[in-house]
Amino acid sequence: MVELSYLSAFLVGLLGGTHCIGMCGGIVGALSLQMPGQATPWRFLLGYNGGRVVSYTAGGFLAGAVGSGGLLLNNVLPVQLLLYGLASLLLIALGLYLAGLWQAVVYIERAGSWLWKKLQPYTKHFLPVQSVPQSFALGLLWGWLPCGLVYSVLVLALASGSALKGGVLMLAFGLGTLPNLLAMGLFARQIKAFMQKPAVRIVAGLLVAGFGVLGLVRLAGF
């Protein structure tokens, strides 16, 4: 069975930090500015990001559950292999986007914007943030922001054919995104400047694309 290990999912989340900083950095910075003056930033940052990771995990459970039903068609059509191939191609496209070489992922993110348009109005109910539960609830909504990086791993969760495997896969990915976004909340200017360096973007992007190439190689040998 071709599968992306949980460690690999974690590394994709970590290496995708250049995308996270661009996609979510503004949100993190804005939320940090709204923190109560006497509050400990870590509490709120963990709340936001904890909610976000929970949403990723829930999405993975749902995708894996749907994928388990799709496997019933495997005798007619190699559904699982097709999904792995699609996910690998998405990772390659994402890596090229991170490296600044191809912009196709932008169109993929636009395709998922309809859900965010429905959820975004609810964020107003939790602003300004005054407590950790509020920050957690805001993070739950934030987790559904259109993101090509998330979509790539969600397809892998779909291909896992199991709700549990899909959920754990997205949990590993979400944990991989934590270091960059937690650091962004505390050291926004320094982290953003580093992540936007061309060399950093190219190396991170090519490494992410490498996971996609590895997936296709393993798929070819299946």
Q: How far apart are CA 156 and CA 83, in angstroms?
A: 7
Mean pLDDT, residues 171-190: 80
Question: Is the model's pLDDT at 115 over the cut of 90?
Answer: no
Q: How far apart are CA 24 and CA 11, in angstroms?
A: 18
Mean pLDDT, residues 170-186: 85
Higher pLDDT, 35 or 175: 175
Question: Is the model's pLDDT at 35 over the cut of 60?
Answer: no
Q: Which two tokens stand for residue 59?
A: 């999405």
Q: Is the peptide bond before 128 cis (omega within 30 degrees of 0)?
A: yes
Q: How far apart are CA 163 and CA 69, in angstroms?
A: 10
Consecutive H or E run containing 184: helix 163-186
- Give phi and psi for 192, each to the nearest 5: -65, -40
Report the candidate in 212, 177, 204 with the shortest Cα–Cα distance to residue 87: 212
Question: Is the model's pLDDT at 37 over the cut of 80?
Answer: no
Q: How far apart are CA 54 and CA 72, in angstroms?
A: 28
pLDDT, tens digit, 9 for 90 and up, residues 56-84: 999 999 999 998 877 666 655 677 788 88
Query: How far, in Å, are 26, 57, 131, 138, 139 from residue 126 at the CA level?
Result: 17, 22, 9, 6, 10
pLDDT, tens digit, 9 for 90 and up, residues 202-214: 998 899 899 889 8
What pLDDT band is residue 137 in, cutting at 50, 70 and 90? very high
Q: How far apart are CA 73 and CA 47, in angstroms?
A: 40
3-class SS at 127? coil
Task: State the Cα torsion 88-51-163-78 to the nearest 10°.
Answer: -20
